Amino acid sequence: MTPEQLLHHHDHAGFWPAASGLDVPEAYQRALAVRQLRMGRGEQPRGYKVGFTNRTIWPRYQVYGPIWGTVWDTTLSYCEGQGEVSLAGTCQPRLEPEAVFGIAATPPANASQGELFACIAWVAPGFEIVQSHQPGWKFVAADTVADGALHARLLVGARVPVAGLASDARAFEQRLAAAHITLSCGGRQVDQGVGANVLDGPLHALQHFLTELRNCPGAPELQPGDVVTTGTWTEAWPVAPGETWTAAFDAPLSGLTVRFC
């Protein structure tokens, strides 16, 4: 499909008539073309989402490596622990609880984890709402890339400066990787997970993403002020208007609740 066709299906929450027919490098170029179309109509990039970092869900979706896409001013919102998100205009929405980073400075080339840690301003809990424009969430990896990396919405919770959380990158990553989460809907426990599910830890996921971003021809650089959400700690769960979901994260992340409308 052309970039214009991809954007049309995104705007109208409609199913694709068939698979994208692209390979992964072509799909990234198509996604970057859609990015330009969205910017041309006034939307502003606010960072990136990194998906399929959780190896435990790869067999379910038949996707065996991470992907990335753009987060927008029209899809991003903040709260201090409890927020509301509209599902209007989404297609087969699902919920993913994640760790989100705020970027303070563009990392240097071939950044080590220590150098990357020094470029992070804050960490926060987040709920990414993902979607698929192919029926039944049946796709191949290139389709997910062309479909905006499945991004629909991002709710970011209380932001904690990383400077006071750990003395160095290793200690920071160990703390996040060991943190657990319990995910509930309407007070009923639905799933559990751990930070290590995402490529052994969120900082590892961020480092992998940065390498892939810089290897993609034409991809914009990571900028100060960008947010990066690093992948779900649990399965991705279908959601509907009227539901309330809560993620109880271990420290250093705080709890996050979202009501869907």
Q: What is the rounded distance in angstroms from the CA atom of residue 168 to the CA atom of residue 238?
A: 37
pLDDT at 215: 96
For residue 56, what pLDDT is reported? 86
Name 4's Cβ contacts closer than 8 Å, sequence gap at least 6: 37
Residues 121 and 228 sit within 8 Å (Cβ to Cβ): no
d(CA 130, CA 48): 13
State both tokens at 60: 């379910």
Which residue(s) pair with 182 in the sheet?
192, 248
List the domains of the chain with CATH numbers. Answer: 3-260 (3.90.850.10)
What is residue 68's DSSP assignment? E
Cα separation, 178 vs 113, whole angstroms: 17
Model pLDDT, residue 4: 95
* 79, 92, 142, 155 from 186: Cα distances, Å: 19, 20, 35, 18
Q: What is the mean pLDDT of each run of 10 residues along the chain (261 residues)?
A: 92 91 95 98 98 88 90 98 97 98 96 96 98 95 96 98 93 97 97 97 96 97 98 97 98 97 97
pLDDT in the model for residue 198: 96
Which tokens in the block code for residue 203?
């900082």
Please work out, in degrees rounded to the nearest 5, the angle formed at the alpha carbon of residue 81 by the alpha carbons of 88 and 151: 35
51, 71 contact by CB (below 8 A): no
- Give dist(CA 145, CA 131) in Å, integer: 12
